[in-house]
Structures are given as C-alpha cells and as structure tokens.
Amino acid sequence: MRRFVWRLQRVLDVRTKQEQIKRAELMKLTETLAKTRAELMMQKRILKNIISQITKKDSHQRLSEQELFLQCSQESDLRIKQLGNQVGQLESQQKEKIAEVIKLKKLTEGLEKLRAQTKKEFMYKEEQLEQKQLDEGAVVGFVRKSYK
C-alpha cells in the first residue's frame, strides 16, 4: 500500500509555526500588560497610603507634610497617567494579537480538515484498489482450479 502524501503539508506546517509564534508574542504582551497593571496599582496604593498617613497626624505636622506631598504629587499623577496610557495601548495591542491568533487558528483548522478529508479519500481509494486486486486474484485462482 502506498504512503499518504499531502501536497499542502508544508503550508500547514508554516501556518502552525506562525500560529505558535503569534501565541508566544501574545503571551509576552500579556505578561508586560500584567506587570504594567501591577505597577499602576502599586503607584495608586502608595499614594493612598501616604494620604491616609498624613490624615492621621496632628494638624501642625500634617500641614508641612501636605505641602511636601502636594509638590511631589504632580510627578506621581503624571506617572499614573503614563502608566494608564501604557495599559490602554497594551490592551489594544493585545486585542490585535488575539485577532491575529484567531485568524491563524481558523486557517490552520481549515487546512487540517482539508488534510483529514483528503486522507480519508486516499484511504477509500486504496481500499477499493486493494479489494479489486483481491477480487482479480480470487477470479484467477478459481479459473485455474476449474481447468484442472
């Protein structure tokens, strides 16, 4: 019996590798997004902790620390805004990567279905050919036995 050879196997292999590469890029992007979100949350938590500590102190000490806090808070607010913008950009990139991965996954699945269908047809034809050969062998054997 002949071995099944599919002409589009290389295309399927290339699509599979592309899908794996895109998945790896998506994972890296997701990790970066998670780190950025964690940093944003930490910055916000630090500001909340400083504010709560300042509010617990007596009024004279609180005024001097509030003044210092307000001077430094502009930089913290700017950093928080930058991190928020970065999170937004990373989320949009993540959505694009997800769309690319889904598209490649659909193409790969389509090729795999086509391969399975082609292999099924190949096996059917091979079985028919084998059955035909067996039938011919049986007929030849019957004819030989009948003439003896």
Question: pTM for this one?
Answer: 0.74
Residues 30, 94 contacting (CB under 8 angstroms): yes
Is residue 91 classed exposed, middle or buried when 0-12, 13-18 and 19+ CB atoms within 10 A define those classes?
A: middle
- Higher-confidence residue of 118 and 147: namely 118
What pLDDT is stored for residue 93 in this prediction? 96
The answer to whether position 46 is within a domain reads: yes
The answer to whether position 103 is within a domain reads: yes
What pLDDT is stored for residue 58 in this prediction? 79
The answer to whether position 121 is within a domain reads: no
Lowest mean pLDDT among 9-23, 27-41, 86-100, 134-148: 134-148
The answer to whether position 132 is within a domain reads: no
What pLDDT is stored for residue 28 in this prediction? 97
Residues 76, 43 contacting (CB under 8 angstroms): yes
Residues 126, 1 contacting (CB under 8 angstroms): yes
Range of the domain at 57: 9-109
Residues 8, 110 contacting (CB under 8 angstroms): no
Residues 26, 93 contacting (CB under 8 angstroms): no
The answer to whether position 127 is within a domain reads: no
**What whole-number distance in Å separates Cα of residue 82 and Cα of residue 35?**
14
What pLDDT is stored for residue 1 in this prediction? 62
What pLDDT is stored for residue 112 in this prediction? 95
The answer to whether position 53 is within a domain reads: yes
Residue position matching structure tokens 């699509």: 15
- Higher-confidence residue of 24 and 61: namely 24
Q: pLDDT tens digits, residue range 71-115?
A: 778 888 899 999 999 999 999 999 999 999 999 999 999 999 999
Q: How many domains does the chain have?
A: 1
User: Is the pLDDT at 24 greater than 90, yes or no?
Assistant: yes
What pLDDT is stored for residue 67 in this prediction? 77
Q: pLDDT tens digits, residue range 35-78?
A: 999 999 999 998 888 888 888 887 777 777 787 777 778 888 89
The answer to whether position 142 is within a domain reads: no
What pLDDT is stored for residue 96 in this prediction? 96
What pLDDT is stored for residue 2 in this prediction? 78
The residues, any chain, with a CB within 8 Å of residue 107's CB and separated by 6 or more, are 15
